[in-house]
A and B are shown apart, each in its own frame.
Chain A
């Protein structure tokens, strides 16, 4: 199940949201930004939804706040149409993935969350693959180093030694083929 965090100062919104999506997602809700940060630390949150208009700080400000520590979760801003300037700003700075106008449409919101979750996972997969690739690249580099070293030795080798090297090379090729 997708882990969602929803931050809004309006308690009824939280209730309604949880009631709407608890069957589909693993929903975490809170009215307090500090509580939200705590949840982020403890739960593998994939998607964060925040209301823009809150008394202590705005949604965009909240996102800016958590960016350094939690860059991965996909961020979505829930807003009335009055704050369109803030939304534009937020999108341009790449802080949010989507914005959702109030009152929300449940199915649209659901598909958005799903999309966001997919995005999260895709990103995660890409970043995992990148890591594998990086690892392999490092291995290959080490390998290349060994080959170099072997080549250096090979220049002073006899036939037996050459046969031995060839054997090792084929072994490397096999490894690379994996």
Chain B
């Protein structure tokens, strides 16, 4: 038997192995066993077997002959008796051999003419006294005595089937056969051991769990055969009678459990045949029960249960077929292996029950079947590994294919997406340009609105400014005329004085005349008046130029250009421009901070802001019930420094009607106005907000209904 290396030639090897075993067995069957069951006799059932004494039954007339060549006494706790009548002339010196190593307690009594002349204890229970035994089977020498009647009486008891393949033959023959049996079993053990170690090695290198299960399976099956064939002593079982008595049970349970585990895993039953998987789980439980029964000493029941559970193997055949149908090819080997094994089990069982004859073929059916099974299963495992390899290659290929497919899909989708993106981008761009146009339109509309709002307010202002200019122009012009007249008066005097000759003798008279003219013209009053008129003219001129300057500052149309400007100057120019308009509404009190830094701003637009807020403040008090001189608008400016930041703060506070929260929330909305229709555009504060936003300025509005409103504007520096 060379090693069962996994290769492409495994089928050939399998065949080769079968041929060798067949040849070996044929050599046994050639020397056909001659079992002499028909010479054996048993006692009818009315005897109470347990209480019988050898002497009582040896000469009994009730013995009945067996009909089979290999009788089967069944099993149980009861004692069985068998009698063999020997021919003292021809058979003395020969050996009686019972080829069954599984009988628990077996004693052979040699009875010569009613007297016991020898007794040989044997069987599994009597391990200490087997020196008379040749080989693994109980054998008993026929004594060399002269008797008229020589009987061999066997008292036996076993928890396993008491099958009695009994023969009488020469010791040499027994030894030869024992030897051959040892060889054959060694061969079997060798096969099992090789398979075991080989698969153990495979398990260690491959790491597949099914190899470990297979190793255990081989161990269990081999052990069961070991026990069945009486080779328990090989593993030293004789030293522990308790164990020895249960060896077959334990190995039977163990092989059943490992078989179930192996089959479940190998055939992937949970995936392919779930019902069988569950069924085998049930059997697994039964095996465990059998194990428990064996351990607590219910050996007969345990054995029957184990035998019952052996039917589980039958289900493996349909299981394997279903699995093959589902495309799992390693199951073919499995099917073959199990078919062989079950066939062997059948033969074994049929042999035990006496249906088929007890011969070398039937005798060795079980170890042979199990050896073949083990070998074929090994091939099955190899096939499984290959299958797994193939599957993993297939899976990799499938993965590759799928990933390539995915890649292709992704590529296709990418191009579709790109196309979409391009289209969408184009659409967006066109939408964007439309929106840009709209935005431009809106911006220009807004610009126009702002401009028209500004023009409207300038229009309102013009009247006020005209009036404001009216006064100074009025008194300047009038004063100039009056001055001319006063000057004429003075000229009159000067002319008169020119006429006076200092050398004239009547100087005194002339002076008196001059004095008379002085008095007539009230020259002192005229002098005073001239001074007053000049003051008026100066003042008027100054005021006019102030107004003009204010107007110039106010109406600076800087547009969007940021320039440095003094914020107080802007506020004051606004106040100048607004002065006459404000006069009807309120008194302005201003508290301008000194030394404010210049602010980068759009002065023209900021004027619009101040004008708007100051006008609102002054008009807010119209309905307050206060006299005009009591309605105060307080304007202040100051520089505020905080950590890391400083700003210019402008506050405009009135004592007007104030605003509700609802109104306050809307004041910066375009077209929102609290004024009557036609009086305000509602754009003022929204424009103010826009301008302040352009200046990054913060606006805070503090207001209380009936108390007043304060606008706080903070320009960051």
Q: Which residues of A contact B471 (CB under 8 A)?
A: 10, 12-13, 102
- Do A16 and B478 touch across chains, with their CB atoms under 8 A apart? yes
Provided the pairs A56-B629, A102-B474, A106-B481 are in contact, do residues A16 and B467 lie with their beta carbons within 8 angstroms? Answer: no
CB distance from A11 to the nearest CB of B (A): 8
Of B393-401, B441-449, B528-536, B589-597, which stretch is located at the interface? B528-536
- Do A12 and B479 touch across chains, with their CB atoms under 8 A apart? yes
Measured CB to CB, the nearest residue on chain B to A106 is B481
- Do B466 and A81 touch across chains, with their CB atoms under 8 A apart? yes
Measured CB to CB, the nearest residue on chain A to B467 is A80
- Do A15 and B481 touch across chains, with their CB atoms under 8 A apart? no
Measured CB to CB, the nearest residue on chain A to B486 is A19
Contact with B along A41-69 (1 / 0, CB 8 A): 00000000000010110000000000000
- Do B474 and A13 touch across chains, with their CB atoms under 8 A apart? yes
Q: Does B583 contact A (CB under 8 A)?
A: yes
- Do A19 and B474 touch across chains, with their CB atoms under 8 A apart? no
Q: Which residues of A contact B479 (CB under 8 A)?
A: 12, 15-16, 19
- Do B539 and A19 touch across chains, with their CB atoms under 8 A apart? no
Contact with A along B17-43 (1 / 0, CB 8 A): 000000000000000000000000000
Q: Which of B471-492 contact A (CB under 8 A)?
A: 471-475, 477-479, 481-483, 485-486
- Do A55 and B464 touch across chains, with their CB atoms under 8 A apart? no
C-alpha gap A56/B474 in the complex (Å): 21
- Do A16 and B583 touch across chains, with their CB atoms under 8 A apart? no
- Do B474 and A103 touch across chains, with their CB atoms under 8 A apart? yes
Provided the pairs A13-B475, A15-B529, A23-B485 are in contact, do residues A102 and B470 lie with their beta carbons within 8 angstroms? Answer: yes
Q: Which residues of B contact A55 (CB under 8 A)?
A: 583, 628-629
Q: Which residues of A contact B467 (CB under 8 A)?
A: 53, 80-82, 102
- Do A106 and B478 touch across chains, with their CB atoms under 8 A apart? yes
> Count of chain A residues with Cβ under 8 Å from any Cβ of B?
21
- Do B466 and A16 touch across chains, with their CB atoms under 8 A apart? no
Q: Which residues of B contact A19 (CB under 8 A)?
A: 478-479, 482-483, 485-486, 529, 532-533
Q: Does A17 contact B (CB under 8 A)?
A: yes
Q: Which residues of A contact B533 (CB under 8 A)?
A: 15-16, 19
Q: Which of A131-164 contact B (CB under 8 A)?
A: none
- Do A20 and B470 touch across chains, with their CB atoms under 8 A apart? no
Measured CB to CB, the nearest residue on chain A to B478 is A16
C-alpha gap A102/B471 in the complex (Å): 7
C-alpha gap A93/B473 in the complex (Å): 30
User: Which one of B472, B473, B479, B629 has the highest number of Cβ atoms from chain A below 10 Å of its Cβ?
Assistant: B479
Q: Does A104 contact B (CB under 8 A)?
A: yes
Q: Does B540 contact A (CB under 8 A)?
A: yes
- Do A12 and B540 touch across chains, with their CB atoms under 8 A apart? yes
Q: Does B463 contact A (CB under 8 A)?
A: yes
Select which of B466, B485, B539, B583 is within 8 A of A12 by beta carbon: B539
Q: Which residues of A contact B629 (CB under 8 A)?
A: 55-56
- Do A16 and B482 touch across chains, with their CB atoms under 8 A apart? yes
Q: Which of A71-120 contact B (CB under 8 A)?
A: 80-82, 102-104, 106
- Do A15 and B474 touch across chains, with their CB atoms under 8 A apart? no
Provided the pairs A16-B482, A81-B466 are in contact, do residues A103 and B473 lie with their beta carbons within 8 angstroms? Answer: yes
Q: Which residues of A contact B583 (CB under 8 A)?
A: 53, 55
C-alpha gap A104/B482 in the complex (Å): 13
Number of A-B contacts (CB under 8 A): 75
- Do B482 and A20 touch across chains, with their CB atoms under 8 A apart? yes
Select which of B464, B470, B474, B628 is within 8 A of A16 by beta carbon: B474
CB distance from A58 to the nearest CB of B (A): 9
Q: Which residues of B contact A103 (CB under 8 A)?
A: 470, 473-474, 477-478
Contact with B along A11-40 (1 / 0, CB 8 A): 111011111100100000000000000000
CB distance from B517 to the nearest CB of A (A): 15
Q: Which of B452-507 contact A (CB under 8 A)?
A: 463-464, 466-467, 470-475, 477-479, 481-483, 485-486
Measured CB to CB, the nearest residue on chain B to A8 is B471
Main secondary structure of the interface of B (DSSP, over half): helix
Q: Which residues of B contact A20 (CB under 8 A)?
A: 478, 481-482, 485
- Do B473 and A15 touch across chains, with their CB atoms under 8 A apart? no
CB distance from B320 to the nearest CB of A (A): 117
- Do B478 and A17 touch across chains, with their CB atoms under 8 A apart? yes
C-alpha gap A15/B464 in the complex (Å): 24
User: Which one of B464, B482, B533 has the highest number of Cβ atoms from chain A below 10 Å of its Cβ?
Assistant: B482
Q: Which residues of A contact B470 (CB under 8 A)?
A: 80, 102-103
Q: Which residues of A contact B463 (CB under 8 A)?
A: 81-82
C-alpha gap A71/B482 in the complex (Å): 32
Provided the pairs A10-B471, A23-B485, A82-B467 are in contact, do residues A15 and B536 lie with their beta carbons within 8 angstroms? Answer: yes
C-alpha gap A11/B474 in the complex (Å): 12
- Do B540 and A82 touch across chains, with their CB atoms under 8 A apart? no
- Do A82 and B466 touch across chains, with their CB atoms under 8 A apart? yes
CB distance from A161 to the nearest CB of B (A): 71
Q: Which residues of A contact B464 (CB under 8 A)?
A: 82
CB distance from A112 to the nearest CB of B (A): 14
C-alpha gap A13/B472 in the complex (Å): 8
Q: Which residues of B contact A13 (CB under 8 A)?
A: 471, 474-475, 478
- Do A104 and B536 touch across chains, with their CB atoms under 8 A apart? no
- Do B466 and A104 touch across chains, with their CB atoms under 8 A apart? no
Q: Which residues of B contact A104 (CB under 8 A)?
A: 474, 478
Q: Which of B554-584 contact A (CB under 8 A)?
A: 583
Contact with A along B58-71 (1 / 0, CB 8 A): 00000000000000
Q: Which residues of B contact A12 (CB under 8 A)?
A: 471-472, 475, 479, 535-536, 539-540
Contact with A along B269-289 (1 / 0, CB 8 A): 000000000000000000000
Q: Which residues of A contact B536 (CB under 8 A)?
A: 11-12, 15-16
Q: Which residues of A contact B466 (CB under 8 A)?
A: 80-82
Q: Which residues of B contact A23 (CB under 8 A)?
A: 485
CB distance from B528 to the nearest CB of A (A): 10
Q: Which residues of A contact B474 (CB under 8 A)?
A: 13, 16, 102-104
CB distance from B532 to the nearest CB of A (A): 5
CB distance from B272 to the nearest CB of A (A): 107
- Do A10 and B628 touch across chains, with their CB atoms under 8 A apart? no
Q: Which residues of B contact A17 (CB under 8 A)?
A: 478
User: Which one of B475, B477, B486, B583 has the highest number of Cβ atoms from chain A below 10 Å of its Cβ?
Assistant: B475
Q: Which of B512-536 contact A (CB under 8 A)?
A: 529, 532-533, 535-536
CB distance from B580 to the nearest CB of A (A): 8
Q: Which of B107-149 contact A (CB under 8 A)?
A: none
- Do B481 and A10 touch across chains, with their CB atoms under 8 A apart? no
Q: Which residues of A contact B539 (CB under 8 A)?
A: 12
C-alpha gap A19/B533 in the complex (Å): 8
User: Which one of A18, A53, A80 has the highest number of Cβ atoms from chain B below 10 Å of its Cβ?
Assistant: A80
> 14 A-B Cβ contacts within 8 A?
A12-B471, A12-B475, A12-B479, A13-B471, A13-B474, A16-B478, A16-B533, A19-B532, A53-B467, A55-B629, A80-B466, A80-B470, A102-B467, A103-B470
Nearest first, the 5 A-B pairs at minimum CB distance are: A19-B482, A103-B474, A12-B536, A16-B478, A80-B467
B-side interface residues toward A, CB under 8 Å?
463-464, 466-467, 470-475, 477-479, 481-483, 485-486, 529, 532-533, 535-536, 539-540, 583, 628-629
Further pairs besides A82-B464, A103-B477, A104-B474: 10, Cβ < 8 Å: A11-B536, A12-B539, A13-B474, A15-B535, A16-B478, A16-B536, A19-B482, A20-B482, A55-B628, A102-B473
